[in-house]
Amino acid sequence: MDWRQLWEICSAPDNVPIVALIPLLAFYIYLAWRQAHANDQLIGQLEADPALAKTHHRKTWPFKPGWQKEVHVWPFLLRIEFLGAIIVTIILMIWSITLNAPLEEPANPNLTMNPAKAPWYFLGLQEMLVYFDPWIAGVVMPTMIIIGLMVIPYIDTNPLGSGYYTWKQRRFSISTFLFGFVILWVAMIIIGTFIRGPGWQWFWPGQTWDHNRLIYEVNRDLPDEVPRWLGGPITSNWAKGVFGAIVVGGYYLIGGGAVYSLFRRRMAKDFQRMSLLQFSLMAFLWLTMVALPLKMSLRLLWHIKYVWITPWFNI
């Protein structure tokens, strides 16, 4: 265990936000989960007791008739905001006094940094570069993320869970988001920061970042890996293109079917509320998102680099 290496990575000034992000995120997930759990209990209680549902104020916080339903912003909100501002100021000041912003050698185009890392918040994308060509990881994927985020309100037709934490009423959307945010975004950043060392090689925490490390890693493409009984490795470029298109297309078709099946059985109401466009958009984005870990595992476990090879692009 190379504690010094670990400490060096964790204490690098620009990595401190990421180190801070982990407990922060854990804390807020816990905070949300606690409230969602309470709300879900309340919902269960109310659904079991329609009479109570009619009279209950429907929040988990205490309420008594006669208490103000609305409170003045001044002072009740503003005092919290000011307090927040003070605390943020304190944190920022202490942070700034104790830790200096990094400043390295003057820019030198002739001296490549190893590893050359993007700003930490883009490390997820940089990590994707391992699995995808730059045009996907660097351009298509960010665009898809932005578009995906933007269409969320339009494809989430579930009217429940607006304005309160809940799990029971929004299992699908919350689990999807958690997967996308925590696993695909934050975890990738953490991998990019703490795991990826010189040469963008995989170093377990506590392993020394040895610049001279050599690892054997030969990647193949899926068309080459087609078993003999399925027609052997595909050699012609044309056939490779067709093969890849079939695999990718097949994934979306079969996946689409699976999503449909899931919705029809488990989320019938939501499915009913959705238009065809909404559903297919949702299914496409969801499948694309799920495709990321699939592709990653292909690469990490079976060393498959490309699935679809064409003269113009590779996926």
Q: Considering only residues 71 through 110, tell me which ones interact with other proteins, judged by CB under 8 A.
A: 71-81, 83-97, 99-109
Q: State which of residues 1, 11, 57, 187 lies at the interface with other proteins (CB under 8 A).
A: 57
- Secondary structure (3-state) at 304: strand
192 phi, psi to nearest 5 deg: -60, -35
What are the residues facing 196 on neighbouring strands? Answer: 202
Q: State which of residues 134, 231, 232, 250 lies at the interface with other proteins (CB under 8 A).
A: 134
Size of the site for other proteins (CB under 8 A): 120
C-alpha separations of 195 from 14, 92, 115, 126 in Å: 15, 28, 11, 13
Look at residues 114, 116, 136, 122 and name the one whose alpha carbon lies nearest to residue 296.
Answer: 136
- Establish if 146 lies at the interface with other proteins (CB under 8 A): yes
C-beta of 5 vs 280, nearer to other proteins: 5
Q: Considering the complex, what minimum distance in angstroms separates the CB of residue 49 from other proteins?
A: 11
- Establish if 17 lies at the interface with other proteins (CB under 8 A): yes
C-beta of 211 vs 303, nearer to other proteins: 211
Q: Per the structure block, which two tokens stand in for 37? A: 């759990």
Stretch binding other proteins (CB under 8 A), from 35-43, 230-238, 248-256, 276-284? 35-43
C-beta of 164 vs 252, nearer to other proteins: 164
Q: Considering the complex, what minimum distance in angstroms separates the CB of residue 24 from other proteins?
A: 7
- Establish if 67 lies at the interface with other proteins (CB under 8 A): yes
Stretch binding other proteins (CB under 8 A), from 32-40, 234-242, 251-259, 288-296? 32-40
Provide the 10 A C-beta neighbour count for residue 165: 18
Residues 6+ away with beta carbon under 8 Å from 119: 14
Residues 263-282 that bind other proteins (CB under 8 A): 269
Crossing angle of helices 276-302 and 123-131, rounded to 10°: 70
**CA count, 13 A, side-chain hemisphere, 281:** 17
Q: Considering the complex, what minimum distance in angstroms separates the CB of residue 203 from other proteins?
A: 12
Look at residues 192, 195, 194, 197 and name the one whose alpha carbon lies nearest to residue 214.
Answer: 197
Q: Considering the complex, what minimum distance in angstroms separates the CB of residue 155 from other proteins?
A: 10
Residues 6+ away with beta carbon under 8 Å from 13: 99, 100, 101, 102
Residues 169-228 that bind other proteins (CB under 8 A): 169-170, 174, 177, 181, 208, 210-212
Residue 239 and residue 310 in contact, taking contact as beta carbons nearer than 8 Å: no
- Establish if 231 lies at the interface with other proteins (CB under 8 A): no
- Establish if 293 lies at the interface with other proteins (CB under 8 A): no
- Establish if 159 lies at the interface with other proteins (CB under 8 A): yes
Amino acid identity at 30: Y
Q: State which of residues 1, 26, 149, 300 lies at the interface with other proteins (CB under 8 A).
A: 149
Q: State which of residues 6, 10, 38, 296 lies at the interface with other proteins (CB under 8 A).
A: 38
Provide the 10 A C-beta neighbour count for residue 238: 10
User: How many residues does the structure list for the chain?
Assistant: 315
- Establish if 41 lies at the interface with other proteins (CB under 8 A): yes
C-beta of 150 vs 301, nearer to other proteins: 150
C-beta of 226 vs 267, nearer to other proteins: 267
Stretch binding other proteins (CB under 8 A), from 126-134, 220-228, 277-285, 299-307? 126-134
* Measured distance CA(299)–CA(131) in Å, rounded: 7
256 CB burial (10 A radius; 0-12, 13-18, 19+): middle
